[in-house]
Amino acid sequence: MTDTTAQGPPERVHIVDTEHLTKRFGEQTAVDDLTMHVPEGTIFGFIGPSGSGKTTTVRLLTGVQSPSEGTAYVMGTEPSSFSERERARIGYMPQLSVLFPHLSIMENLRFVASIYGMPWGRRSQLKRVLDFVELTEHRRKRLWQASGGMQRRLALAAALVNEPQLLFLDEPTAGIDPVLRRKFWDHFESLRDDGRTVFVTTQYVGEAAYCDQIGVLRNGRLLTVDTPEGLRWQAFGGEVIDLIVADRIEQDLITDVTHLAYVSHAQRTRVDGRGMRITVDDADRVIPPLQRWLDEQGMQVESIDRYLPPFDDVFVKLVETNGSTELTGLSDAAAEQAALEPEITIPPPPEDEFPATPPPETPSTTAGPDDELPATPPPETPATTAGPDDELPATPPPETPATTAPPSEPAAEASVEADDAVTGDDTTGRDDAATEEPR
C-alpha cells in the first residue's frame, strides 16, 4: 500500500505533492486535509462520487484557486507562483467545453495554440494532435456540428497541443459511450508510456483498473491511495478464490475451511449452494494445497480459480469500512440501478379528514398545512376555508366574499417567458456573444 504520509520537503520524483491541503467555501469544506504524492510518469486516478471535491482539488493544483490551509507543490513549485514557462508544461481538460461552437475544429485548435504562444506555422504539431484524437478528417467541421464525442476529443487535443509533461483531466469520460471511453484510456496509456504524467478524475469506478495508482476521495477527504490490486486487498482483506463443487456445500465444510491456516474468510455463493468464495493471502500459492484438501474431504471440484472482484464491489467495501453508507454516485452501475428503482413517496392524508366546508358548530376548524389562514377564522366568515394553494388573504373584503383571483395567471406568464428563453432568445444571445469574442 502506498504511504500518503508526509516525509519532509517534496522530492522531485513526485510531480505532485500536497500536505494537509484544505479548501473552504464559507462554512463548507470542499477539500479536507489532503496529503498525497503523485509519481512522475504514471496515470493517477482520483476517484469519488460527484461533489466529493475532485474538481476543487484540480483547481488548487493548477493555481486556479488558492488553498485555505496546507500546501501544494506541482513540479516543485507552488501553483500560485507558476511562471509562464511552467504553466506551458501543464495541460488542463475541464469538465465543460470552453471552446467556440462557431469555429471549426482546426480553428479552435489554432486559437488554443496561440494562447500558449505557439507560432501559427507549427502545422505539424496541430496535425499530430488531431491524428492522435482521430479528428483529422473532421478538422473543417464547425464545432456546433460535431457530436458530443468529437467535442470531448477536441477538448483533449486542446489540452495536448502544447505537449505538456503533466496533464490534468477532469472527468474526461463523463457522458461518452463505452467505445470512446476505451479509446480515451488507450490515449492516456500512450501518454504514460511517453513519460508523461496523467492526473485524471472520474466517478466511473471501473476505470480504476486502467490507473497505476488510485486515490479514493469521499466528502473532501482522501480515504486511501493504492494500486488497483492493493485496493482489492484492502477491501477484502486478501486475495479471493472462487470455488465451485458438484454437490451442495454444507455449513460444516465452510467452518472447516475457515479453520485452515492459510484461509482468513469463507462464505457460500450461488443460489444452488455449490459455490464458495475464500479469502487468502496468496491465491496462486494456496490453490494447490486447497484442492488437495478438498479431494481428501471427498468433494468433487468443478472449478477453482482466483477471483477478481469488480471495482464497484471494491469501492463499496472501502467506503463502508471507513464508516459511510453514502454511496450515491460512487459508481456508474450503482447510479443506473438507483434510476431503475421506484421512487417512494408519502401520500397526503385523505381528504375526508379535512372537510372543505366545516359544520357551523365548529367555527375553529384548523386549516390545511399549507394555508396561511389563522387557526380560528374571523366570526363573519366562519365557513370559509382556503385550499392549500389559495392566495386569498386571511380576511377577504366583505363586498367580494366569493371572488378569487385565478392563481394560474402569474404561472402562465412565467411559463411564456420561460418558453421564449428556451426557444430562441438565449441561444441567439450566446451565438452573438461567441461571434464577438474573437474580436
Instruction: Give the DSSP letter string of 199-266.
Output: EEEES-GGGGGG-SEEEEEETTEEEEEE-HHHHHHHHHTSEEEEEEESSPPPHHHHHHHHTSTTEEEE
The three grid cell numbers given for residue 397, joined into one nine-digit string: 373584503
Q: Are 178 and 213 contained in the same domain? A: yes
Structural domain containing residue 278: 235-309
Q: Which amino acid makes up residue 101?
A: P
**Do both 224 and 246 map to the same domain?**
no
| Nearest alpha-carbon partner for 172 in 65, 97, 277, 272 | 97
In a domain, 198, yes or no: yes
Same domain, 247 and 131: no
Residue 226: what are its φ and ψ, rounded to 5°?
-165, 175
| Domain annotation covers residue 223 | yes
29's enclosing H/E stretch is strand 28-39
In-domain check, residue 135:
yes
Helices assigned H by DSSP within 3-81:
54-62
Q: Is residue 416 part of a domain?
A: no
**CATH at 204:** 3.40.50.300
Is 383 domain-assigned?
Answer: no
- Please state whether the predicted TM-score (pTM) of the whole model is above 0.85: no
- In a domain, residue 19? The reply is yes
Question: Using the 8-state DSSP alphabet, how is residue 204 labeled?
Answer: -
Is 195 in the same domain as 261?
no
pLDDT tens string, the chain, 439 residues long: the values are: 444 444 444 445 689 999 999 999 999 999 999 999 999 999 999 998 888 899 999 999 999 999 999 999 999 999 989 988 888 899 999 888 788 999 999 999 988 888 887 776 677 888 888 988 889 999 899 989 888 888 988 999 999 998 899 999 999 988 788 888 888 899 899 999 999 999 999 888 888 889 999 999 988 999 889 999 899 888 888 899 999 999 899 899 999 999 999 999 998 888 888 999 999 998 999 999 999 999 998 989 999 999 888 888 888 888 776 654 444 344 443 344 334 334 333 444 444 444 444 444 544 444 444 444 444 455 554 444 444 444 444 444 555 444 444 444 444 344 434 444 433 444 334 444 444 444 3
Residues 74 and 201 in one domain: yes
Domain boundary among the residues 286, 309, 332 is at 309
Show the beta-strand stretches assigned E in 138-210: 166-170, 197-202
Q: Final residue of a domain: which of 281, 309, 337?
A: 309
Residues 390, 395, 400, 406: what is their CA dihedral angle, to the nearest 10 degrees?
-10
The enclosing domain of 288 has a CATH number of 3.30.70.1560
Do 214 and 261 belong to one domain? no
Specify whether 122 is located in the same domain as 186: yes
Check whether residue 218 and residue 251 sit in a common domain. no
Q: Do 181 and 294 reside in the same domain of the chain?
A: no
Looking at the 3D structure of the chain, how many domains does it have? 2
Q: What is the C-alpha to C-alpha distance for residues 411 and 400, in angstroms, rounded to an integer?
A: 24
